[in-house]
Structure 1
Amino acid sequence: MTRPFAPLAALAAFMLATPAASQEAVPLDQATLQGDETIDTPIGEIELTDSYFDEDASRRLFDEMDAQRAAQAYIWSTPLVSAATWRDRQGEAYGTDAPGAFAVLETLKEKRGIVTANLTTPYIFNFTDLSEGPVQIDYPAGQTAGGVLDMWMRPVFDLGLTGPDAGEGATYIVVGPGDDPAAHDQDGVHVYQSETNTVLVGIRILDPDPAYYDTFVADYAMGPVGETSASTFVRGKDVEWSATSPRGLAYWETLAKVLNEEPVREIDKPWMAMLAPLGIVKGEAFAPTARQEKILREAAAMGELMTRNLQVNPRYAEVWWEGTSWYKSFDFTIEQETGTLQQIDERATWFYEAVASSKGMINPTPGAGQVYMTTKRDASGEMLRADRNYVLHVPAEVPVAQFWSLTLYSEATRRPYDNGGTEIADVSLDSRMDQLQVNADGSVDLYVGPDAPEGLESNHLATVGDDGWFVYFRLYGPEAAFFDKTFTLADFQIVE
């Protein structure tokens, strides 16, 4: 029997003993996941020997799995973290972490703390904890809009013109997730249940008479059922603050804290399972390892980039007016879910860009409620830029029962734009302002950019540096011509 040449025998033995590393890597979508195989993946090559991989590959796969889950958890948790950030920072700035205390936001500096705040009407906000028992609200009559929201920013019920009281005033009782609403049934009283322990009470004064504010706060009462008393309204603080959600590890610290405060809804249990390997576990302190912290920091950045992409390019939605870049901002259901899915992308778009929701915002009817239109692009489809000048032509007779407004926001913070101005008119213009210069046909040209057109400074909103911007065009009491789209708003045009 002839023996093989020694070098060839040695080579054959080497090839048989060499693991998959010597094989050419196959693309991930062509992998068989069996035998000896080297697979080219986004996290590098994964080598299989007899269908198994080594500890290094296992570690990298777990890191990738946790990173993907964390980035998606950012998108899922956007409304909850935003609400908790708002509550905590408003409490610090205004002392409204005490029961029954409301922050009254009127000035530009005060309102600049709220994400996409409306700058045309006074805001009144309170966060109330129901874990100590249900709360009764004796709500006054008048021209107001608002509601009670849970910490996912879902409306529990509306107040004022779009609520059950329809502006006539009423008594409400709101109970927590562990309470029984039927136990509080009373004639003439509206009873609702929140799915979270903490609720936001948000109110906007729509009455144009400044004296109505005093009437409203004097008549408003809240407290334990049957024991309501006058609330505290913190007014005139004029302090700078921010309700924009934090970045980095602070985002996850906020999420872990609020998850420990609130019950886990059935719909959210899969997300809790995905968060557990990252150190966020209901009932446990958040103390991430170095590995978890690195993954969470990177995932917060990636999750925000993904969410901003949804905000700028809402792929689930169609533009409102064909041939333009205008979207109806609030484009999902009050419940944030349908019969077949939870509207995670839709609500993340809104709650990254804005805060709060109500029946009047989501499902306005002709003559009542509000519509929020937004755009991030000019007439040529290019992104709006801070270093260019633009004009928006607003036609005469905008179909509104009340008024319209255009407000400028920073893309970085999503809060009212900080261009150095100190007055609301520096970042928001509306149809009730005497300063607006109106064209002969009743239309109005509004300008946004670094340079004000000569003689039209009163119609101009300034942008600065490289702080990207977007706008909300709000219609208060939108009428039929908006809904049937016989009224159209054109895109911003570049001013050369």
Structure 2
Amino acid sequence: MTSPRDASLTGDETIETSFGTIRLEQNYPTDESSALLLDQLDLQRACQAYLWFLPLIGAATWRDQAAETFGASGFGDFVVYQTLREKRGILTANLTTPYIGSFLSLADGPVLFDYPAGPTAGGVLDFWQRPAVDLGQTGPDGGEGGGYVVLGPDADATPYEDSGRVVARCATVNCLILFRVLDSDPKTMESIKDNFRIWREGSDPAPARFIEDVDREWSATPARGLRFWQDLDAALQQEPVREVDKGVMAMLEPLGIAPGQPFAPDARQKLILENGAALGELMARANQVNPRYTSPYWEGTGWYKSFDFVLEQETDTVLQLDERATWFYEAVGSSEGMVNPSPRVGQVYMTTKRDGDGKLIRADRTYRLHVPAGVPVAQFWSLTLYSEATRRPYDNGGTEIRDVSLDSRDDQLAFNDDGSIDLYIGPTAPDGAESNWMKTTGDDGWFVYFRLYGPTEAFFDKTWALPDFTAL
């Protein structure tokens, strides 16, 4: 008996592997060994497919759950996510500004819309969560509003070349229009809703339908187990296979997933798919905790820039698989303003999973984050608490947004005399610090996003930096 590393792979040989014993007879694997090897091959492929399809399944899950929870299933239906319960369904939702979003199919032709002027940020995303175009302050309209047309993968752009509209093309049949209103004045929200028009090619402009005040708990966290693959199969039946996806699609065929074919896995395939989904998720978490493709943004800390890959998700030489899987495991969406912020424009998302001693942060300990004075933002900053299990805003029993998100516009926060502030996360608040504290519960491990809206020069030149959490 030998190890794979020392095996000759010739003649009669017994090889001990991490997944079982492989026997060769006159160079050939025995039938039992072949079955074992093919099971392992399919398991490895299922793990990689899980990581590959995270952006697609994240978008599809959000669409399906929004339709079920909010009744947003018609053309031009926009959900307004404002309350904690409405936002708590979204992966790593920003809790400081409202979201407005609509899922659309381009199967019936291009979609046109007139985007209103105002302080907004967002974009049109395909179902791989890549922006077809930004909207608002970081988009072509620059916050002044304008006309857009969204084309499907094969639609002809010629009729719109001289239309005066911004032409955006999606690589998928399904897409998402999503934006945030950055001004808290209710009049701004009303103006944006009043001036939004959307229609299909050949129809007349019409007001959008805004679905508000639903205030229900829901979840857009992708399913686990076999349900993950059922949801993936449903999404793949609707979307074209891109050139870059063909290799992974070949991996799925032996597991019973292929366009145009019903998904009916046998007992063997089900077991492999269920194990592959669990292992794939664990691999995604390992990427979160130990991102091998980058280093901390501020040297000597555990803070990473959350969105750490290019908009296209690939370069001239690689598809940024680990980078993409890390982000889309724990979050949704991308835009020019998120990926490539510039001084005073866009947003920055910083995250950490460790304290100042390099230890993973825990739900049963209390931590202090000292935020130095002069946070480099033209707008505001926020610290939001998320569950590692769901990747959604943390459920600690609170009913108000400030129970899980603190920001610089909050007049209940207590700042230090020098303009700095100490924020606390843990099961109990230090005496006198209740207004600066977010509660953790049980063994529900957590992480945070520290967001900078309109980051200024001191962020980019790193003359200002966040220190690590300190365990108390």
TM-score range, shorter chain: over 0.9
Residue type matched to 2:263 in 1? F
Alignment of 1:299-318 (within 5 A): 299-318=276-295
Deviations 1:209-258 (A, max 9, x none): 12111100000011113622100000000000000000000000010000
Alignment of 1:162-177 (within 5 A): 162-177=138-153
Q: Offset at 1:185?
A: 1.5
1:371 aligned residue: 348
Q: Percent identity?
A: 59
2:69 aligned residue: 93
Paired with 1:53 and 1:406, the residues of 2 have a C-alpha distance of: 56
Q: Offset at 1:425?
A: 0.6
451-460 vs 81-90, which deviates more? Answer: 451-460
357-366 vs 454-463, which deviates more? Answer: 454-463
Match of 2:385 among 383, 404, 408: 408
Paired with 2:173 and 2:48, the residues of 1 have a C-alpha distance of: 25
1:133 aligned residue: 109
1:37 aligned residue: 13
1:196 aligned residue: 172
Residue type matched to 2:321 in 1? I
1:4 aligned residue: none
When Rg is computed on C-alpha atoms for both structures, the one with the higher figure is 1
Q: Does 1:147 align with 2:123?
A: yes
Match of 1:122 among 95, 98, 119: 98
Paired with 1:29 and 1:301, the residues of 2 have a C-alpha distance of: 28
Paired with 2:367 and 2:280, the residues of 1 have a C-alpha distance of: 31
Secondary structure of 2:237's partner?
A: helix
Paired with 2:323 and 2:116, the residues of 1 have a C-alpha distance of: 34
1:220 aligned residue: 196
2:424 aligned residue: 447
Q: Offset at 1:435?
A: 0.3
- TM-score, structure 1 length as denominator? 0.94
1:6 aligned residue: none
Q: Does 1:463 align with 2:435?
A: no
Conserved? CA contact 1:181–1:192, under 8 Å: no
Secondary structure of 1:26's partner?
A: coil
Secondary structure of 2:326's partner?
A: helix
Paired with 2:404 and 2:146, the residues of 1 have a C-alpha distance of: 36
Match of 1:335 among 282, 287, 312: 312
Deviations 1:377-435 (A, max 9, x none): 00000011001011101111101000000000000000000000000010000000100
Paired with 2:23 and 2:372, the residues of 1 have a C-alpha distance of: 64
Residue type matched to 2:328 in 1? F
Residue type matched to 1:66 in 2? D
Alignment of 1:17-416 (within 5 A): 25-225=1-201, 227-416=204-393
How many residues of Structure 1 are paired with residues of Structure 2 in the alignment? Answer: 471
Paired with 2:221 and 2:184, the residues of 1 have a C-alpha distance of: 29
Residue type matched to 1:141 in 2? A
Q: Offset at 1:38?
A: 1.5
Paired with 2:200 and 2:163, the residues of 1 have a C-alpha distance of: 18
Paired with 1:85 and 1:398, the residues of 2 have a C-alpha distance of: 35
Conserved? CA contact 1:125–1:201, under 8 Å: yes
Alignment of 1:428-439 (within 5 A): 428-439=405-416
Paired with 2:158 and 2:325, the residues of 1 have a C-alpha distance of: 33
Paired with 1:228 and 1:329, the residues of 2 have a C-alpha distance of: 38
Paired with 1:36 and 1:330, the residues of 2 have a C-alpha distance of: 51
Conserved? CA contact 1:110–1:239, under 8 Å: yes
- TM-score, structure 2 length as denominator? 0.99
Paired with 2:24 and 2:363, the residues of 1 have a C-alpha distance of: 52
Q: Offset at 1:178?
A: 1.6
Residue type matched to 1:135 in 2? V
Paired with 2:205 and 2:244, the residues of 1 have a C-alpha distance of: 34
Q: Offset at 1:97?
A: 1.4
Paired with 1:75 and 1:241, the residues of 2 have a C-alpha distance of: 24
Residue type matched to 1:270 in 2? G
Paired with 1:312 and 1:93, the residues of 2 have a C-alpha distance of: 32
Q: Offset at 1:42?
A: 2.0
Q: Offset at 1:312?
A: 1.6
Paired with 1:237 and 1:198, the residues of 2 have a C-alpha distance of: 24
Paired with 2:225 and 2:205, the residues of 1 have a C-alpha distance of: 41
Secondary structure of 2:39's partner?
A: helix
Structure 2 segments unaligned to the other structure (5+ residues): none
Paired with 2:51 and 2:78, the residues of 1 have a C-alpha distance of: 30
1:16 aligned residue: none
Paired with 1:432 and 1:50, the residues of 2 have a C-alpha distance of: 74
Paired with 1:320 and 1:399, the residues of 2 have a C-alpha distance of: 15
Moved over 6 A (4+): none
Q: Offset at 1:470?
A: 0.4
* Aligned residues: CA RMSD: 0.8
Paired with 2:330 and 2:70, the residues of 1 have a C-alpha distance of: 23
Q: Offset at 1:137?
A: 1.3
Residue type matched to 1:33 in 2? L
Secondary structure of 2:384's partner?
A: strand
Paired with 1:124 and 1:222, the residues of 2 have a C-alpha distance of: 14
Q: Does 1:493 align with 2:465?
A: no
Deviations 1:425-463 (A, max 9, x none): 100000001001010001111011011122221100000
Paired with 2:163 and 2:143, the residues of 1 have a C-alpha distance of: 19
Paired with 2:241 and 2:291, the residues of 1 have a C-alpha distance of: 28
Secondary structure of 1:192's partner?
A: strand
Deviations 1:270-293 (A, max 9, x none): 000000000001111111011100
Paired with 1:243 and 1:53, the residues of 2 have a C-alpha distance of: 44
